[in-house]
């Protein structure tokens, strides 16, 4: 059975390619982005040392 034939009203089938952030409507404006966990730890430790 195909998804669009399932009859499940809660399945969202996008018409175009959509990023997960858009699909879930996540606001990323207040989030800090890090390339790795170690980048996060380095910034966190630098912030803790200045306080």
Q: What is the pLDDT of residue 30?
A: 65
Count: domains in the chain: 1
Q: CA-to-CA distance for 51 and 28, rounded, in angstroms?
A: 26
In this prediction, residue 20 carries a pLDDT of: 75
Per-residue pLDDT, 14:
66
| Distance of alpha carbon 48 from the chain centroid | 27
3-state secondary structure at position 31: coil
User: Contact at 8 Å (CB) between 13 and 4?
Assistant: yes
Q: What is the pLDDT of residue 6?
A: 66
Whole-prediction pTM value? Answer: 0.38
Could you tell me the residue range of the domain that residue 19 belongs to?
3-50
Which residue ranges in the chain fall short of pLDDT 50? none
């Amino acid at each position: 059975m195909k998804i669009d034939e399932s009859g499940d009203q809660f399945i969202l089938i996008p018409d175009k390619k959509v990023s997960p952030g858009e699909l879930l409507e996540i606001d990323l404006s207040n989030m800090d982005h890090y390339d790795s966990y170690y980048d996060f730890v380095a910034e966190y430790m630098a912030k803790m040392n200045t306080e």
